[in-house]
Structure 1
Amino acid sequence: MGRFAGRSQNKHFILWLLFIGYLVDYLDRMVMSVAVVYIKEDFQLDPAAVGAILSSFFISYAIMQIPGGWLTDKLGSRKVLIWSIIIWSVFTVFTGLAWSLTSLIVIRFLFGIGQGGYPAASQKGIADYYPLKERPRASAFLMSSNYFGMALAPLIAAPMILWLGWRNMFVVIGLLGVLLTIAFWVYFKPQNQLDSSSFAKKNSVPLKELLANTELWKITVMWFAAGIVNWGLASWIPSYLMEARGMDIMSMGFFAALPGISTGIAMVFSGWLLDRYFVNREKYYAAFGMLISGIFLYLMFTTTSIPLAMLYLNICMVFKSFAFTVAFALPHKLMPKKSIGSAMGIINMGAQAAGFVSPLVMGFMISFTGSYNAAFWFLIVCCLISIIAAISIKKSEISVQTDETEVLAQ
């Protein structure tokens, strides 16, 4: 037991545990983008229906961001993390048991409710274990897991679907949640949450104050527009590579994984770059990233060369991650620890609302035009919106209050 206690107070071990949790979170989420190619055939769906399946997760996930953040600040990160993992794992398994379009949409909606608590709770976990100065870099490392999860999804899903079928794939992947739940139950134990009843009673969350903060909403809009690009590409690139670029499923799995790998590596260094060279200039870091992302997105879908298209897609995703880094780093610098969960919930609500809007709008555009080009132009416009929102942020007005809180582990 002493060994377990030691690990539960080791901040680097906890960061890796949160990282693995997010990796599985994204794996469970993103395999749908690969599986939907086969689900579409089984259920005889058009692109608009596929967009509805992909979007059903994001609407519930977006709805849960603010309540998930509030619950995290009120009840503590430990409870929210564990219950989030349990719920999303159950509905990952249920996805493999879906019998119709309607059942699939309902299951993915409930799956999104389960995953909705993890983002804010994981960021709160960083605040529970890391001192103020180290949180932005720890956050950037944690969020790089999102892109590694995106990369793993096609690499794992493609061969599993060929060997087991899409239904059994969801069942097997969902069972990973059992191991993850045990790991969090044993190791994730912030000292300030060991007495959960007193923790909930003494924690008041300034949610109204946060909701009235215009600068926080500007960060949210910046990340919403960047999130449309992120989720639009993540949701439709597998179908695009197979249908517009003529790849088979194994080739698609390889090429669709590359942007996640390159962007995940970039995210690890992005937090360091932000801390080293862009302190108090974070908004320009985000705006520059979205500008380069939009340029290379245009080059990606207009080139006739598949290798060049893949190169441009990777560059697009790497620079888009600059906005991602800023969206999750700024609150750690500017918000009090007691409201980190709620602030992250508000910001991430923007990105996840984008996850609902983007696949759906792109699906209708592809159905209406019979081409992916109009859908990619929609993403470029969103790059411009993100740039405008980023530049409009006035950092001096963001902070609710400054506080340095106790550090639970070193």
Structure 2
Amino acid sequence: MNFPDKYRVLLMVWLLQFVNYLDRINLSIAAPTMMKELSISPGLFGFVLAAFTFGYAVAQIPGGALADRFGAKCMLIVSPVLWSFFTGATGFVSTVLALIVVRVLFGFSEGLSNGASFKSIGDYFPPQERSTANGAYLSALALGPAFVAPIAVWFLIHTGWQGMFRWLALPGLAMAVLVVFLIPSAKAPRPFAAADSAESASHSGSGSGFGEVMRLPRSWIIFTAYLAFNIAFWGYLGWMPSYLSMARHIDIKTLGFAASIPYFAGTVGMFVFGWLGSTVLYRQRCVLIAAIYLCTAVCLYVTYNVDSAFNSIIGLSAAGFFLYGGFGPLWSVVLDLTPETSRGAFSGFVNCGGQIGGFFAPIVVGWIVGKTASFTGGFIFMNVALAVAAVCFLLLHTLMRSQQPTALASGRTA
């Protein structure tokens, strides 16, 4: 039986994202050991965590533009080759400065593939399937950390943190080879192309391309929303293992499995809310996203107020369910807001905003932990950011309803 191109593309970008997060989350797992062996304070290690997001942010728009210019497949080959090299290189550093430089280059290498992946989803899936497709694709964001935590802890115990990074450089190289053979070189004509063009023109106010879309207020609203969301996301992703180890006193052998549970909950959330964003709540995606972020804030509040490690893992798992759940609906809205010819660049623009938030989050959380010897202030910081993101999406929903009454009546408003 012939496997449709869209599902083959979805499988490959999922695998790429999975391996991407295998390499990305290693630093968080190794953080307590690396801080001890390299004599790095929590405040300084916040800059190490932020180094990745700096490089990742810088690569977003050029990576997306290159995907628009040369095709998504090209960038989906180049990026994993580069990030695998710098994953391995992390295992050879011996100073904080070298570690920061390598992580910046690693982040830049991973960032080159992001716009290409979202462009692939937009190119192969029609508008009303994109929330589900993005939810499925981005489930790798949760499953990657969930599976790598026990694996990384095993390597950490048996080979040290240096060996962990060196060994886990290999999967990315294998993915580059698979992309060469399994992703189509050029996409076939799509039966939904005309409707998709009308959709993007309706949402963007014109079909003239990236420049026109960038001049619209809604583009900057979603940029700001994703920036605020990523303060919470990267604060959660970067510091959760350290929080369980340092604040809840979970030993290293247990840490790998304890840190996996919230990510599995996040995977479930991605499929649940991705499906809702493509079906019964398709017209209300922005409201759905705002509600998800507010529920995440409530769960984080519960997490830092409970009195046991077990209950904190439950709170973190509930937060992960909602935190990851918003990705599918969010990126379906992003893909609907721009013409096909600029899809990679606009996705990169939005994600650049996200990585700006992601850059500052671990620095601020690390500074707060270092100054107060407590994670409470870090949780409050993330909750405020989630509230800002929720307000932005409610504003975006109101703006799109007021400006697109025709689209709303036909059931095609985000």
Choose the corresponding residue for 1:352, options 355, 359, 366. Answer: 355
Distance 1:134 1:282 in 2: 13
Letter in 2 for 1:66: I
Choose the corresponding residue for 2:215, options 212, 217, 220. Answer: 212
* Residues 1:154 and 2:159 aligned together: no
Choose the corresponding residue for 2:371, options 368, 372, 378. Answer: 368
**Cα deviation, residue 113, structure 1:** 0.8
Please say if residues 208 and 339 of structure 2, whose CA atoms lie closer than 8 Å, have aligned partners that are also in contact.
no
Which residue in 2 is equivalent to 1:395? 400
Which residue in 1 is equivalent to 2:165? 170
Unaligned runs of 5+ in 2: 189-206, 408-414
**Cα deviation, residue 335, structure 1:** 2.5
Choose the corresponding residue for 1:291, options 288, 294, 316. Answer: 294
Tell me the alpha carbon deviations over residues 344-378 of structure 1, each in whole angstroms, 9 at most, x when there is no partner: 11111122222211001111111111211111111
Give the match's secondary structure for 2:307.
coil
Distance 2:176 2:327 in 1: 27
Q: With structure 2 as the length reference, what TM-score do the two structures score?
A: 0.88
Tell me the alpha carbon deviations over residues 227-265 of structure 1, each in whole angstroms, 9 at most, x when there is no partner: 111110111111111111111012111111111111112
Give the match's secondary structure for 2:303.
helix
Distance 1:223 1:308 in 2: 29
Tell me the alpha carbon deviations over residues 85-121 of structure 1, each in whole angstroms, 9 at most, x when there is no partner: 1110110010011121100100000001100022211
Which residue in 2 is equivalent to 1:340? 343
Distance 2:69 2:49 in 1: 31
Give the match's secondary structure for 2:279.
helix
Higher mean C-alpha displacement, 222-231 vs 22-31: 222-231
* Residues 1:274 and 2:277 aligned together: yes
Which residue in 2 is equivalent to 1:87? 82
Please say if residues 334 and 398 of structure 1, whose CA atoms lie closer than 8 Å, have aligned partners that are also in contact.
no
Go from structure 1 to structure 2 and tell me whether the alpha carbon gap of 1:299 and 1:109 turns closer, same or farther (over 3 Å shift). same
Go from structure 1 to structure 2 and tell me whether the alpha carbon gap of 1:76 and 1:359 turns closer, same or farther (over 3 Å shift). same
Letter in 1 for 2:330: A
Please say if residues 289 and 321 of structure 1, whose CA atoms lie closer than 8 Å, have aligned partners that are also in contact.
no
Letter in 1 for 2:387: L
Choose the corresponding residue for 1:239, options 239, 242, 261. Answer: 242
Distance 1:175 1:150 in 2: 17
Letter in 2 for 1:22: Q
Go from structure 1 to structure 2 and tell me whether the alpha carbon gap of 1:384 and 1:224 turns closer, same or farther (over 3 Å shift). same
Which residue in 2 is equivalent to 1:40? 35
Please say if residues 280 and 395 of structure 1, whose CA atoms lie closer than 8 Å, have aligned partners that are also in contact.
no
Which residue in 2 is equivalent to 1:100? 95
* Residues 1:12 and 2:17 aligned together: no
Distance 2:87 2:70 in 1: 25
Go from structure 1 to structure 2 and tell me whether the alpha carbon gap of 1:377 and 1:323 turns closer, same or farther (over 3 Å shift). same
Give the match's secondary structure for 1:287.
helix
Give the match's secondary structure for 1:302.
coil
Large movers: runs of 4+ above 4 Å: 396-399
* Residues 1:62 and 2:57 aligned together: yes
Distance 1:367 1:388 in 2: 30
Higher mean C-alpha displacement, 25-34 vs 322-331: 322-331
Unaligned runs of 5+ in 1: 194-203, 403-410
Give the match's secondary structure for 2:118.
helix
Q: How many residues align?
A: 385
| Aligned residues: CA RMSD | 2.0
Please say if residues 273 and 326 of structure 2, whose CA atoms lie closer than 8 Å, have aligned partners that are also in contact.
no
Please say if residues 296 and 313 of structure 1, whose CA atoms lie closer than 8 Å, have aligned partners that are also in contact.
yes
1:104-183 counterparts in 2 under 5 A? 104-183=99-178
Distance 1:328 1:267 in 2: 12
Give the match's secondary structure for 2:374.
coil
**Cα deviation, residue 395, structure 1:** 2.4
* Residues 1:306 and 2:313 aligned together: no
Go from structure 1 to structure 2 and tell me whether the alpha carbon gap of 1:311 and 1:398 turns closer, same or farther (over 3 Å shift). farther
**Cα deviation, residue 213, structure 1:** 2.3
Letter in 2 for 1:320: L
**Cα deviation, residue 333, structure 1:** 2.9
**Cα deviation, residue 314, structure 1:** 1.1
Go from structure 1 to structure 2 and tell me whether the alpha carbon gap of 1:398 and 1:172 turns closer, same or farther (over 3 Å shift). farther
Please say if residues 293 and 387 of structure 2, whose CA atoms lie closer than 8 Å, have aligned partners that are also in contact.
yes
Please say if residues 213 and 398 of structure 1, whose CA atoms lie closer than 8 Å, have aligned partners that are also in contact.
no
Higher mean C-alpha displacement, 164-173 vs 119-128: 119-128
Distance 2:105 2:402 in 1: 37
Distance 1:326 1:273 in 2: 8
Please say if residues 223 and 324 of structure 1, whose CA atoms lie closer than 8 Å, have aligned partners that are also in contact.
no
Go from structure 1 to structure 2 and tell me whether the alpha carbon gap of 1:67 and 1:210 turns closer, same or farther (over 3 Å shift). farther
Give the match's secondary structure for 1:142.
helix
Please say if residues 230 and 317 of structure 1, whose CA atoms lie closer than 8 Å, have aligned partners that are also in contact.
no
Which residue in 1 is equivalent to 2:25? 30
